[in-house]
Chain A
Amino acid sequence: MDWGTLQAVLGGVNKHSTSIGKIWLTVLFIFRIMILVVAAERVWGDEQQDFVCNTLQPGCRNVCYDHFFPISHIRLWALQLIFVSTPALLVAMHVAYRRHEKKRRFRNGEKIDIEELKNEKIHIRGPLWWTYTSSIFFRIVFEAVFMYVFYYMYDGYQMPRLVKCNAWPCPNIVDCFVSRPTEKTTFTIFMLAVSGICMMLNLAELCYLVIKICMKESRKTT
């Protein structure tokens, strides 16, 4: 059970998305999950091993590392990607429920072709529109929350080279040096930028859906 399985699960949702939704999914998989797995995890791989403090005091390094990195960037990104992908499952559940309802109508004797039922592309209308729109809204909220959490936890998006630590049992103030700070800053800014792009795609999709429904309503009234 890993990122590949998530891709298989979300791939099914792709069929019922708008074009912007499909682009969003591609950006998510290629520029975020793939970058996380093939690059970012290696950069952060030695984060604790190579976090070096200028002291011989045992335990000081552990405590300082824990103080400055309560949750590692990699874990925060993994959680962010999982939370951001999950609202799409609401849409998948709604589509499955609609198909189940159509099956029930078929059972009750209405004439519906079964092949058509299996391959039907369900249009985003009615209650499905509400489910889809709320899933996009939740995606945007989760993205924003995680971006804020990053900013708050690490005082910005830059990884410092040196952190000064005075947590017990460190004697007085101890200089601690972070492993690969520049590379980490580069990847943090990259992931932030792609996160921003995903948020904009979600906003565009939301606007598209809202405009579509307003136009449909105005056509109905005229």
Chain B
Amino acid sequence: MDWGALHTILGGVNKHSTSIGKIWLTVLFIFRIMILVVAAERVWGDEQDDFICNTLQPGCKNVCYDHFFPISHIRLWALQLIFVSTPALLVAMHVAYRRHEKKRQFRKGDQKCEYKDIEEIRKQRFRIEGSLWWTYTSSIFFRLVFEAVFMYAFYFMYDGFRMPRLMKCNAWPCPNTVDCFVSRPTEKTVFTIFMIAVSSICILLNVAELCYLLTKFFLRRSKKTGNSKHHPNHENKEETKQNEMNELISDSCQNTVIGFSS
């Protein structure tokens, strides 16, 4: 179970996302997870080995390192990425539940069910409407909350986003005050700022997606109150035809977007 497995799980969610959601997912995987794995982990790899204190006192280096780095940046980023990816699973669960309900209807032989076989139910792409809209919107809201909380935790824990070269430590058993030198502080500052910047971009994308969904919802509502008095039956037939079209199309066009496949 590693980042590749998370990629597979979230790739399935991609199918039911809006366009902004798909862009968010791409930014997450390429500019955050990939950068973390191929670059940042190497930069922080020797963080404790090359944390040097100007003292011969045994145990002082360990204690000072622990005092200044309660949780390493790398672990915080890994936790942030996992928490931020997880709300998308709410959407996946909701879609799976809907599919389960439709399968049940199909098996019962319900005449209202418009599907020809189970394969079609499995491959259908659900539109973001009704209860799915609420699930999707709350997942975006939780993403925003988690991103903000982790950014604040970083800021609070490390007094800003800069990595100092020198730390003065006086925790026991260090004698008086001891100078401790951090390994690769400039490179670490650069990557911290990079990850913060991409985190902010992700927050903006989530806010944009939230606004888009709210706008769509209100427009749809105003269209419904306008049309419902004129053509109630015609709408139902159109929706059925649309659903059939959706199935046929989603059968053939599943993997068109950016290589993320279900």
Contacts and interface: CB of A to CB of B under 8 A. Distances in A.
Indicate whether A and B interact. yes
Interface of A: 1-3, 5-6, 8-12, 48-49, 57-59, 61-63, 65-66, 69-72, 74-75, 78-79, 82, 86, 89, 92-93, 95-97, 99-100, 103, 106-107, 114-115, 117-118, 169
A100 to B, nearest CB: 8
B68 interface: no
Interface residues of B, number: 51
Given A6-B30, A59-B166, A62-B52, A78 B39 contact: yes
Interface string B183-226: 11111001100000000000000000000000000000000000
Residue of B26, B38, B257 ringed by the most chain A CB atoms within 10 A: B38
Given A1-B6, A75-B191, 9 more contacts: A5-B29, A12-B259, A69-B187, A70-B186, A71-B186, A71-B190, A106-B245, A106-B249, A107-B242
A62 B166 CA distance: 10
28 contacts: A5-B4, A6-B30, A8-B259, A12-B259, A48-B50, A58-B52, A58-B55, A58-B181, A59-B180, A62-B165, A69-B184, A70-B190, A71-B186, A71-B190, A78-B39, A79-B35, A86-B30, A89-B26, A92-B258, A93-B23, A96-B256, A97-B19, A107-B242, A107-B246, A107-B249, A114-B248, A114-B249, A169-B181
B39 A70 contact: no
Contacts of A12: 258-259
Contact of A11 (B37, B165, B259): B259
Contacts of B46: 48-49
Nearest to B186: A70
Given A89-B26, A99-B256, A1 B184 contact: no
A105 to B, nearest CB: 11
B252 A117 contact: yes
Contacts of A78: 35, 38-39
Interface string B35-78: 10111001100100010111100000000000000000000000
B252 A66 contact: no
Contacts of B252: 114-115, 117-118
Given A6-B30, A59-B52, A66-B184, A1 B42 contact: no
A43 to B, nearest CB: 13
A49 B252 CA distance: 54
Residue of A9, A61, A66, A86 ringed by the most chain B CB atoms within 10 A: A66
Contacts of A6: 30, 34
A48 B184 contact: yes
Contact of B42 (A75, A100, A114, A169): A75
A144 to B, nearest CB: 20
Contacts of B257: 92-93, 96
A9 B31 CA distance: 13
B33 A1 contact: yes
A99 B184 contact: no
Residue of A3, A75, A78 ringed by the most chain B CB atoms within 10 A: A75
A169 B185 CA distance: 15
